[in-house]
Structure 1
Amino acid sequence: MALYRKYRPASFAEVVGQEHVTQPLSVALDSGRINHAYLFSGPRGCGKTSSARIMARSLNCVNGPTSTPCGVCPSCVSLAPGGPGNLDVTELDAASHRGVDDMRELRDRAYYAPAESRYRVFIIDEAHMITTEGSNALLKIVEEPPEHLIFIFATTEPEKVINTIRSRTHHYPFRLLTPMAMRGLLERTVEAEQAQVDDAVYPLVIRSGGGSPRDSLSILDQLLAGAGPDGLSYEQAVALLGVTNDSLLDAAVEALASEDYAAMFATVDDVIEGGFEPRQFALDLLNRLRDLMVVRTVHDAMNHGLVDVPSGREAVLSEQAARFSPDQLARMAALTNDGLSDMRGATSARLLLEVMCAKLMLPTAAAGSISGAESVAAAAPASPAAPARGGSSDSEEKKPARRFERKSVREQREREQREREERERQQRQQERERQQRQQERERQAESPRTESPQEVAQSEAPQAQPAAESAAEPEREEAGEEASTSVVEHQQSIVEQWPEIRRAIFEANARTGVMIAEARVLEETPEALTLGHHTGALATRLSAPEHAEVIAQAITQVTGAQVTVSCVIGTRVPARTAASENTADADTEEEEPARPEPRAPGGWVAPQLPPEPGTTAPVREPEPEKKPEPPRRRWQERAARGNPYARPGQQPPPPEPEEPSDYSGRDPYAGMADSVPLPPEPEPDDAAPEHEAPPSMPTPTPGPPVEESEEDVEESFAREAAEGEGSADRRDQRTVAIELLQEQLGAKLV
């Protein structure tokens, strides 16, 4: 029989290392405070099922319920370790009986009264394996069981038991045995077996068992089974368990203490050649480092049971611990633990073990090299240029921080820097301009008379200079040049800053800012500014005091000049005089393109009559270059010209005189709305063909023969349609649109 079954405890007094559970259970049994359900939880092999059997034996003893069963009554004999058992105590493995049908069968059996005992006890092992449906099927009887029924659940994972069952049980947690308690159990078992075991074997068994009594007894049973007539030796135990020999661990610790790389890698080679598992060697080395750390930091740790070592090894461990500092031992233990994690499932375990050993020896050597480098740096003389480069060193210290800053932060910083530089540049420019204007005012105040730009131009023109000028002529000429130069420079500054002035006007008065959007600077003097607007209503409104004052204040805010503002109709810039052309800067103001020729109300161009005798024909300004327009259809061309029925050579009717209108009562935005062209009128259905005139119209008198261009030919085609009488088109927009789609695109009305 296996040792863990043969030496299973028969009472709570024989249970080892679980006094925190056995003592309260014994008190409850002796006092008769019995609950209907218990939950025993804990690691595997720590005595949960054995304690459940002891509980059932104590409940059904003839002298019970009692914590000390008599052991002679039929119930105690049948429930003793190795006994046959009885019908009133049922053990169920929930790992194989976990379904709802199994729980229903158990529930049906539980209602029957015990056959020969005081209680009917159900011991359910691995209770966490029961399904949710099975637990719900068992829940009702666990809530309200009969008086003769007691449940004992045993599990390694109590959190997986449903709360409705766990809350109705008395929960007793079991735990693993301490090394001292485990050593006592092993020694008593070896003594009962009358076997000879080397004293150095017990630490190996305890470490391999991991604190579980059942696992430790199973390992001891294996070792005793393979022992010879002389007993179990340390070498046999090491060979069977696969643990690392103490000689290899001592060699590794010695190499770490002496910082001998060759000895460390030779030890690793001995581990591999000896057939030991590299990960097992790392685990044993970690345990040795732990023992050394405890011995180094805790006084008399071995006598207090904190370190379990074979007899005669205490002096060796104390000597090894004295060669390291606590910090070194803690650091090496942490590195070994990390190496263990890396070697889990690795294919080249030896390589990882050697890397781990190199890391274990690295900290001490690295610390020595770092300290040596610091001493060399401290002994090096300081550079004589270092104090003078303090500023550059500060900037170099800031560079790494900027190098790793986020992109958004860097862009924000660069944008703010650009804005700051732009503001500084504008302030410097405004300051220079302000100083120049101040100097100009001072020169003008000192000068007895300041000539206007027109006078300066006339004085500089060769035909206007008399031959008998006095000696004061150069002085007047110089004064005129200075005045014209100041005017041109000031006007250039206004034009250059006009967008900024418009923004200032809009911020001060949004209504004035909207009206001045299409205004243009025509003429400017140090005291007055003349603006031009192509809409008469807006020009009148801008000349009003409330709007002119807003514009003047904005100009003062931006340029610092005090001017009076007026606005006229038209945006054509007057021609420069000779003096202004000579004194102006390279940036000249563009002239307004020439106005288009006047058109009659019908839309055609008014013919230019020949000049009368004795008069000079006015010089026509060249028309601005027209941008090419996309091709349009003929009816669109005719509609754009205003009169689709005019014939070539037909004289236009005289223009009707415009009625004077007063804009004072109109809305200032009316002009803007009127300036938007209306959509073209649709071509009537009854219009005459384009290539011939209606017979009812009189033949027009042909004009003088002129050479017609392509554009004139198209206009002549449009005028041919004007011979016939027009009729009012009373169709609505939808009808016109449908007819146009049918005519031009061939669409059909569905």
Structure 2
Amino acid sequence: MALALYRKYRPATFAEVVGQEHVTDPLRIALAAGRINHAYLFSGPRGCGKTSSARIMARSLNCAKGPTPDPCGECNSCRNLAPEGPGSVDVTELDAASHGGVDDARELRDRAFYAPADSRYRVFIIDEAHMVTTQGFNALLKIVEEPPEHLIFIFATTEPDKVLPTIRSRTHHYPFRLIPPSSMRELLERNVADEGAKVEPAVYPLVIRAGGGSARDTQSVLDQLLAGAGPDGVDYSRAVSLLGVTDVALIDGMVDALAADDAAGVFGTVERLAEAGHDPRRFATDLLDRLRDLVMLRSVPDAGERGLVSAPDDELKKMKEQAGKLEPATLSRYADIVHNGLLEMRGATSPRLVLELLTARMLLPSVAEGADALLARLERLERRAASAPAPVAGGAVQAAPPVQNVQTAQAAPAPAQVAPSGEPVREFQRPSQ
């Protein structure tokens, strides 16, 4: 049985941890200087490297050449604590979801006083630390506050606010973050190259978006695609069908129809969506992502080059054209309508009906009230005026002459009036008093 990608390519050193330089660099400096704390708290979203970094920390502390930011990988401790190693008796990893009670904490406290068997430090890695009960934290409080010299605690949690404040105040807290798309793509491309597989460039944004910034989740998605890939590798159509994302052609069709005020095109896209078996909720989510990208491109023309919008070159070119057809207020209004529509879809018995209704609201800004709808109507009038054909001679209505300056018009002499007999009409003058 082959290992999953997230296990096969688990980082073994801090230099291999992707997208967490704000955490790994200070830890490396502290290890190099020998400034070791007795307790650490690693917090952040799931799958971003907290537990892996805790294992690397234990490996760096117990290396024969350590404490060192770069474990040698040759001593017994480094081999035992490697990602594929058997582990060490001096490094204990506990899952607080099943060992968070007061009895478990007391047992851990009693074991902590024993000196390490074959290492420099005894390291306790407590995963999902927010699951430890209040009584369990209170049982650990004294030993976390004043531990033996050979003991180090590393707490890992997705919810640091639920960790007892008295415990949290005695740790060095390092918050992990979601991995940015650029770093995630480098990681995926490196994994694909090591696997000797083929993946179309347009597939990577789909995988990264499905992973949501988590390295573990993203690698799991890529692993699923590679497992079902044919001899030609992972192509875009296969990825769309397996991941359940909306085909980009449907998104383009919807945006183009909205830009042209084409009601038939808008509802025709919804019909094709239903015929293809796509989830209306997922389509609305993907449409909201596209509107966000268009807002970025409208506000920052080089958003693609800056990394604010991640898309293949041909799709990025298409989005730039779409952004030029829609004004900022209209895009903002569309995004608000789709966002509110997603909230309505949560408990809806007919998501397609909700999707059709929200697209109808997008097409009819005149039925809504508020500043956004007013700006959208003004932008529509300006767009129609700009796209109106120029007047031609011989049948077209002539444009009105420009209005003269008020002072010039008053200074100009009025034309003389002529009677039917041809004689000029004399103006009646009031007799002087």
Q: 1:369 to 1:101 in 2, by over 3 A?
A: closer
Between the aligned partners of 1:19 and 1:96, the Cα distance in structure 2 is 31
Deviations 1:461-484 (A, max 9, x none): xxxxxxxxxxxxxxxxxxxxxxxx
Q: Given that residues 93 and 124 in structure 2 are in contact (C-alpha distance below 8 angstroms), is that contact kept between their aligned partners in structure 1?
A: yes
Kept in 1, the 8 Å contact 2:288–2:335? The answer is yes
Residue number in structure 1 paired with 2:159: 157
Equivalent residue number for residue 356 of structure 1: 358
Contact 2:330 2:375 in 1 (8 A): no
- Per-residue CA deviations over 1:692-718 (Å, capped at 9, x if unaligned) read xxxxxxxxxxxxxxxxxxxxxxxxxxx
Report the Cα distance in structure 2 between the residues aligned to 1:273 and 1:126, rounded to whole angstroms: 44
Which residue of the partner structure matches residue 550 of structure 1? none
Distance in 1 separating the partners of 2:229 and 2:376: 52
Paired position in structure 2 for 1:308: 310
Q: CA deviation at 1:209?
A: 0.6
C-alpha contact 1:63 1:70 (8 A) present in aligned 2: yes
Q: Which one of the candidate residues 51, 54, 73 is aligned to 1:71?
A: 73
TM-fit CA distance, 1:365: 8.3
Q: Distance in 2 between matches of 1:22 and 1:300?
A: 31
Other structure's SS at 1:33 match: coil
Mapped partners of 1:292, 1:104: distance in 2: 56
Structure 1 or 2, whichever has the larger Rg, is 1
> How many Å apart are 1:171 and its aligned residue?
0.3
| 1:180 maps to which of 172, 182, 186 | 182
- Determine whether 1:338 maps to 2:340: yes
Deviations 1:174-211 (A, max 9, x none): 00011111111111111111100011100100111111
Q: How does 1:6-405 map to 2 (within 5 A)?
A: 6-363=8-365
Query: Hey, what does 1:476 align to over in structure 2?
Result: none
Distance 1:256 1:74, change over 3 A: same
Give per-residue Cα distances to partners, 1:486-522, cap 9 Å, x unaligned: xxxxxxxxxxxxxxxxxxxxxxxxxxxxxxxxxxxxx
Give the CA deviation at 1:369: 11
Work out the CA distance in 2 between the residues paired with 1:11 and 1:326. 46
Determine if contact 1:203/1:309 at 8 Å carries over to the other structure: yes
Per the TM alignment, residue 65 of structure 1 is displaced from its structure 2 partner at its CA by 0.2
Q: Deviations over 1:225-253 (max 9, x none)?
A: 00001100000000000000000001000
Contact 2:13–2:70 (CA<8 Å) still a contact in 1? yes
Query: Structure 1 pair 5/368, CA: closer, same or farther in 2 (3 Å)?
Result: closer
Task: Output the CA distance in 1 between the equivalents of 2:110 and 2:376.
Answer: 78
CA separation of 1:369 and 1:317: change in aligned 2, threshold 3 A: closer
Matches of residues 416-565 of structure 1 in structure 2 within 5 Å?
none
Normalising by structure 2, we get a TM-score of: 0.84
The answer to whether the Cα contact below 8 Å between 1:199 and 1:311 also exists between their aligned partners in 2 is no
Alignment gaps of 5+ in structure 2: 369-373, 382-433
- 1:346 shift after superposition: 1.6
Residues of 1 paired with 2:141 and 2:149: CA distance?
16
**Residue 330 of structure 2 contacts residue 376 of structure 2 at CA under 8 Å; is this kept in 1?**
no
Rounded to whole Å, the distance in 2 between the matches of 1:300 and 1:139 is 53
Deviation of 1:301 after TM superposition, in Å, equals 1.0
Distance 1:310 1:364, change over 3 A: farther
SS, match of residue 313 in structure 1: helix
- Whether the aligned pair in 2 keeps the contact of 1:200 and 1:311 (CA below 8 Å) is no
SS at match of 1:34: coil
Deviation at 1:370, TM superposition (A): 7.5
Is the CA contact 2:333–2:376 (under 8 Å) kept in the aligned structure 1? no
- The Cα offsets for residues 363-421 of structure 1, whole Å up to 9 and x where unpaired, read as 278769988xx9xxxxxxxxxxxxxxxxxxxxxxxxxxxxxxxxxxxxxxxxxxxxxxx
Letter in 1 for 2:24: T
Q: TM-score, normalised by structure 1?
A: 0.49
Cα offset for 1:345? 2.6
Say whether the 8 Å CA contact 2:329–2:375 is kept in structure 1: no
Contact 1:223 1:232 (8 Å CA) reproduced: yes
2:365 touches 2:376 (CA, 8 Å); kept in 1?
Answer: no
Partners in 1 of 2:295 and 2:190 — Cα distance? 31
SS at match of 1:124: strand
* Matches of 1:328 and 1:156, distance apart in 2: 38
| Aligned partner letter, 2:15 | A
Dislocated runs of 4+, deviation >3 Å? 364-371
Q: State the 1:271 CA deviation.
A: 0.9
CA distance in 1, matches of 2:367, 2:195: 53
Question: How many Å apart are 1:143 and its aligned residue?
Answer: 1.0
Indicate the SS of the match to 2:141.
helix
SS in 1 for 2:174: strand
Instruction: Name which of structure 1's ranges 360-369 and 326-335 shifts more when overlaid on structure 2.
Output: 360-369
Tell me the distance in 1 between the aligned counterparts of 2:255 and 2:361: 14
Which amino acid in 1 is paired with 2:311? Answer: V
- Asked if the contact 1:37/1:152 (under 8 Å) is kept, the reply is yes
CA distance in 2, matches of 1:195, 1:42: 31
1:132-167 deviations in whole A, cap 9, x for unaligned?
Answer: 111111111111110000000000000111111111
Displacement of 1:36 in angstroms is 0.4
The separation in 2 between residues aligned to 1:326 and 1:33, in whole angstroms, is 52
Counterpart Cα distance in 1 of 2:307 and 2:357: 34
Alignment deviations for residues 308-351 of structure 1 (CA, whole Å, 9 cap, x no partner):
00132222111111001111111111111111111013211111
Q: Which amino acid aligns with 1:16?
A: V
Q: Given that residues 282 and 340 in structure 1 are in contact (C-alpha distance below 8 angstroms), is that contact kept between their aligned partners in structure 2?
A: yes
Question: What's the CA shift for 1:32?
Answer: 0.4
Please give the secondary structure, in 2, of the residue aligned with 1:117.
coil
Partner Cα distance (2:193, 2:349) in 1 = 44
Distance, in Å, in 2 between the alignment partners of 1:129 and 1:201 is: 37
SS in 1 for 2:218: helix
Give the match's secondary structure for 1:302.
helix
SS of 1:303's equivalent?
helix
Change (3 A) 1:159 1:370: closer
* Amino-acid identity (%): 67
In structure 1, the partner of 2:418 is none
How many equivalent residue pairs? 372
Q: Indicate the RMSD between aligned Cα atoms, in angstroms.
A: 1.5
What SS is found at the alignment partner of 1:92? strand
Question: In structure 2, do the counterparts of structure 1 residues 341 and 23 end up closer, same or farther at CA, with 3 Å as the change threshold?
Answer: same
* Structure with larger RCO (C-alpha < 8 A, sep 6+): 2
Task: Encode CA deviations 1:541-593: one digit per residue, 9 max, x unaligned.
Answer: xxxxxxxxxxxxxxxxxxxxxxxxxxxxxxxxxxxxxxxxxxxxxxxxxxxxx
Structure 1 gap segments, 5+ residues each = 375-750
> In structure 1, the residue corresponding to 2:100 is in which secondary structure?
coil
Residues 362 and 186 (structure 1 numbering): CA distance in 2 closer, same or farther, change over 3 Å?
same
